């Protein structure tokens, strides 16, 4: 006799993996932590196996959990496609989204996954660059909307969340002890760079550049190799790196705003819908 799976349980499991914790998943799904934990236990009871290794940081799936994840996401995608086809407006067309490269993995991936499921007929083009250049492109009408990392939010923008700027190093490295301090940052348009250099100057710490690029991946590779340390937003730090605490001797850095800017004229319905998805993801 066929048995039916509870889509809500699978969605909670998917959210736990996306968020990296039960607490984070509860926020995404607007549940209490206890309710999200109970749904995970119910799903484990259905399959009679443990899906998540308890007490591990970062979260790690068991082999059974890994096997379920791809199947669960396929079912959720099909479920969401049906709902989108029957209930969602028939959005179609193109939208151009600007995004600094360090925001793509933690924020861009979940936004684009959910938007793509809800509106499969929309083609989203991603433009990665530094905040200053992206805002210039938006002003010229080359993109429809952009996320931006700034100390403050300029007029016509909206702050979606704030995030502390932190020093990041290799998990087992000691680059932060070297003198002069080796640094990997974005190029001269990077908003993190002047803040970090000012803090080092005020602390009387000498430094030298090891890497100056506008792409996040080369910076991460340089830091992971213990060639340098880097200032990064706390929410963007990859699992392969670690946030350096006060024991590193590095000065504390200020918080940044993650902002959203949209075209001030002729904003398409498709772009408005993508902006709505971005707001929902970052507010969670």
Confidence grade of residue 264 (pLDDT, cut at 50, 70, 90): confident
d(CA 209, CA 184): 6
Average pLDDT over residues 181-198: 92
d(CA 158, CA 278): 12
Domain boundaries along the sequence of the chain: 7-85, 93-154+258-283, 162-257
- How far from 257 is each of 81, 140, 141, 254, CA to CA, in Å? 34, 23, 23, 10
> Given this chain, do its domains 7-85 and 162-257 carry the same CATH topology?
no
CATH 1.10.8.60 matches 162-257: no
Neighbours of 92 (CB within 10 A): 12
For the segment 212-226, what is each residue's pLDDT rounded down to a tens digit?
A: 887 899 999 999 999
* pTM: predicted TM-score of the whole model, two decimal places: 0.69
Locate 30 and state its tokens.
Answer: 């607007």
Determine contact, residues 97/274, Cβ cutoff 8 Å: yes
The reported pLDDT for the residue numbered 1 is 60
Locate 249 and state its tokens.
Answer: 């001797």
Locate 244 and state its tokens.
Answer: 């350096």
46, pLDDT greater than 80 = yes
H or E element at residue 166: strand 157-170
57, pLDDT greater than 80 = no
The reported pLDDT for the residue numbered 63 is 92
CATH 3.40.50.300 matches 93-154+258-283: no
For the segment 22-33, what is each residue's pLDDT rounded down to a tens digit?
A: 888 888 888 899
- What 3 state SS string does 187-233 have? CCCCCHHHHHHHHHHHHCCCEEEEEECCCHHHHHHHHHCCCCEEEEE
Architecture of domain 7-85: Orthogonal Bundle (1.10)
Placement of tokens 């059974």 in the chain: 64
For the segment 74-119, what is each residue's pLDDT rounded down to a tens digit?
A: 898 888 777 766 765 667 789 999 999 999 999 999 999 988 888 8
Q: How many whole angstroms from its chain centre is CA 19? A: 10
d(CA 268, CA 123): 13
Locate 27 and state its tokens.
Answer: 């926020």
């Amino acid at each position: 006799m066929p048995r039916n799976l509870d889509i809500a349980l699978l969605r909670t499991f998917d959210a736990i993996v996306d968020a990296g914790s039960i607490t984070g998943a509860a926020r995404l799904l607007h549940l209490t932590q206890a309710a999200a934990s109970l749904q995970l236990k119910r799903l484990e009871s259905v399959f009679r196996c443990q899906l998540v290794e308890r007490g591990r940081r970062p979260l790690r799936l068991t082999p059974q959990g890994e096997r379920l994840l791809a199947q669960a996401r396929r079912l959720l995608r099909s479920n969401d496609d049906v709902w989108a086809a029957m209930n969602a407006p028939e959005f179609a067309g193109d939208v151009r989204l600007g995004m600094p490269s360090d925001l793509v993995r933690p924020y861009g991936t979940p936004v684009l996954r959910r938007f793509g499921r809800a509106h499969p007929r929309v083609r989203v083009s991603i433009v990665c660059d530094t905040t200053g250049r992206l805002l210039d492109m938006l002003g010229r009408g080359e993109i429809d909307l952009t996320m931006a990392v700034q100390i403050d939010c300029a007029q016509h923008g909206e702050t979606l969340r704030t995030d502390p700027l932190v020093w990041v190093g290799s998990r087992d490295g000691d680059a932060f002890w070297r003198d002069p301090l080796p640094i990997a940052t974005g190029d001269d348009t990077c908003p993190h760079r002047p803040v970090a250099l000012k803090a080092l100057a005020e602390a009387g710490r000498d430094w030298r550049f090891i890497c100056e690029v506008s792409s996040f991946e080369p910076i991460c590779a340089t830091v992971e190799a213990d060639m340098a340390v880097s200032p990064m937003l706390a929410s963007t730090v990859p699992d392969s790196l670690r946030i350096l605490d006060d024991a590193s001797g590095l000065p504390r850095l200020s918080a940044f705003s993650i902002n959203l800017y949209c075209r001030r004229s002729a904003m398409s319905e498709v772009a408005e819908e993508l902006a709505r998805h971005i707001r929902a993801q970052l507010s969670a």
